[in-house]
Chains A and B, each alone.
Chain A
């Protein structure tokens, strides 16, 4: 394969945390080094490190422009070939291209050819993977800070009206209309006022906010400055959990560059408006993602939430009017101002406008970040974008909304996802986690897992959350161990209801969701554990016994090789048997058997 252009090439290396973990920084260094040795005469090429592409499964990703070639899982050893073949000789290296499992074809430009990219609509993630997050010029090249310029040309009321008209709802989980928050803050008579960006993303498996802060920090800053202009705020804070090292680094760099570029500071864009932002590092408590706990933490107090009968927009940080929005919400603001509220509001459903970023993880073929219009169905997200379930297994449930979200069963796969529909089915949007589960998932164990997480992360301030979660966890553990009683289900429901009604903050009020949603859709699994002492998914160790179906077993021996306790015996090409006395029901045999011969009793 030959290509025509060999001038002015760009090599983009994804340096998001996922790709970095797979060695993308080394790849980036190697490319830079080897390009230099080429001498500037031969090809004009420069490498940029970009933020997360969302396609973490295939990282490190190296993209070559304008040829539009994406190489997957690139190693340092591949770099000489990339330079020699692609950069010098315009050849595409077939083996580094993604192989579409459906068509079995190699794909040169995944974002043009693959459903994973084609079915997405990027607003919040528009720049990620396209720009170098450390370069303010890159951001400006893609219309960066144009929205701020436009905001200066209209009145504060007009800015707020635009945001209200856009229908943008808070992306952090609550789904409160962002414009109404701004308006309420602007209406307060007291000053100073504050702006906060909530970057304390804590849901297990969720990384949309991290990706934005790492990959496009200026969009967050621009969104916040526009809000400051609309509400008359003087100071902003970006609260980032300390584990997000790269996000912290890129945000701090962006703040320095924004000040230099006069997009932040004493006299923004020469308009006489002063506003500055500082980064506050969170200590890693999940509950500090709750806005009032976050505010307490910024104030240097214990990260405990307070009752929100008075919103932070009236009394927030240090008792002053405060607008607090999540990272993804801020990332939408420049687009709304630039392109107009009507265009934004034309995307999505009646009451949930725009797009939502999901982190699609679990037992799904393509894991990563996906941004889709509100109202996209779960089936489209999981099967079209996500490519379906791993190993061709059966879909069982999808867990949305983080640890205190709910599990949605197969019969609801055609549900158009938005803030309200998810709530109706007993789950929630949360910050956008989507964890896909297959037939080998025990739903009682799933509920127990999340309650375990929440028990460790509840701040312990209010009794229903602290004690209620712990007691639900106690009951679920008992059921998983086969010691459950039938009356336990009623007790679970009773405690769940009290926690839901009486808990102080959002964490507590939703903490019963994993229990209530699994009881609602998978009650038979609870009953199987309690009445039949059986775990239908073969996960709960005390309730599982594996055996080998003699008809199906081919005697290939792969289970023998994988059994960690030598509990499987049998001659080659003859049916094997499992010694139940020795078996620790770890499940490695059932996971590796290619003939579906390992069965659950």
Chain B
């Protein structure tokens, strides 16, 4: 089926979100809490667009709005731009330490106002992507806790979580670099837990935690290359293919 986005006819699948359809058509909608690996969350509300359905006009979050019929979507109106600008302003006040948010603050032309700024090194915008990544890894070592402005991402009781593998998927996916990972002397410290790192058998660089490798082995996955870092694994695979040729 087809819908109209910003005056263009776009092919869509029944039930997919406006954001997914727009992305495929090369139409950019800003997001902060979205990652293609996961379903839309509707947290940051930056992806709000205007939807016309018959005579009804609504402002909706494009990352969660499923397309189930003929609609006309406008991704940018003065009201939507103003809303996005205010959301960025609010996020800047909350997480002034994030480079990404600082850049967006400028990009959207936000101006200084009388509101107080949070701690200058605060970076977390509570997008929840780290929690989803951890869940996807099968650990669920972190979760959102508390509510309202007290909301934060934490391990249970803020202690080192038994189930945390130290894989760093949370830090990897974080759009604002808010998760602290310290790596030195063959150790990785993340979420208050210290991990010993395993060195790559080929290049000798530390690349993964022991817990991570044990977890992968326990999943019954191919472990023939598990002692290699990612770039060496790629090299080894390429060599194998060359060997066949």
Contacts and interface: CB of A to CB of B under 8 A. Distances in A.
Contacts of B114: 475, 478, 485, 487-488, 491
Interface in B138-165: 143-144, 146-151
B221 to A, nearest CB: 29
A494 B86 contact: yes
Interface string B25-69: 000000000000000001111101000000000011100111000
A498 B90 CA distance: 10
Interface stretch (A99-107, A151-159, A452-460, A517-525): A452-460
B20 to A, nearest CB: 14
A309 B43 contact: no
Interface in A426-471: 455-464, 466-471
A508 to B, nearest CB: 9
B45 A460 contact: no
B90 A467 contact: yes
B87 interface: yes
A459 B64 CA distance: 18
A463 B148 contact: no
Given A309-B65, A458-B148, A466-B148, A495 B86 contact: yes
B68 to A, nearest CB: 8
B10 to A, nearest CB: 18
A488 to B, nearest CB: 6
A504 B45 contact: yes
A485 B149 CA distance: 24
A306 B64 contact: yes
B75 interface: no
Contacts of B91: 463, 467
Interface string B74-115: 000001001100110011011000000000000000000111
Nearest to A473: B149
Given A463-B91, A488-B114, A455 B66 contact: no
Contacts of A457: 147-148
Nearest to A461: B43
B83 A458 contact: no
Contact of B42 (A302, A310, A462): A462
Contacts of B19: none
Contacts of B94: 467
Nearest to B64: A307
Contacts, number: 107
Contacts of A502: 45, 48, 59, 83, 87
A503 interface: yes
A190 to B, nearest CB: 15
A462 B114 CA distance: 23
Given A459-B147, A462-B42, A466-B151, A474 B86 contact: no
Nearest to A508: B45
B116 interface: yes
Contact of A456 (B42, B64, B126, B148): B148
A287 interface: yes
Contact of A498 (B44, B61, B83): B83
A191 interface: no
A471 B115 CA distance: 7
A474 B93 CA distance: 12
B159 to A, nearest CB: 20
A460 B151 contact: yes
B125 interface: yes
B79 A501 contact: yes
A464 B42 contact: no
B115 A474 contact: yes
A490 to B, nearest CB: 10
Interface of B: 42-46, 48, 59-61, 64-66, 79, 82-83, 86-87, 90-91, 93-94, 113-116, 125-126, 143-144, 146-151
Given A307-B64, A460-B146, 8 more contacts: A309-B60, A458-B147, A460-B151, A461-B42, A463-B45, A464-B45, A466-B126, A469-B148
Interface of A: 285, 287, 302-303, 306-307, 309-310, 455-464, 466-471, 474-475, 478, 485, 487-488, 491, 494-495, 498, 501-504
13 contacts: A287-B147, A306-B42, A459-B148, A460-B144, A460-B147, A463-B44, A463-B87, A463-B126, A467-B149, A471-B90, A474-B115, A487-B113, A504-B61
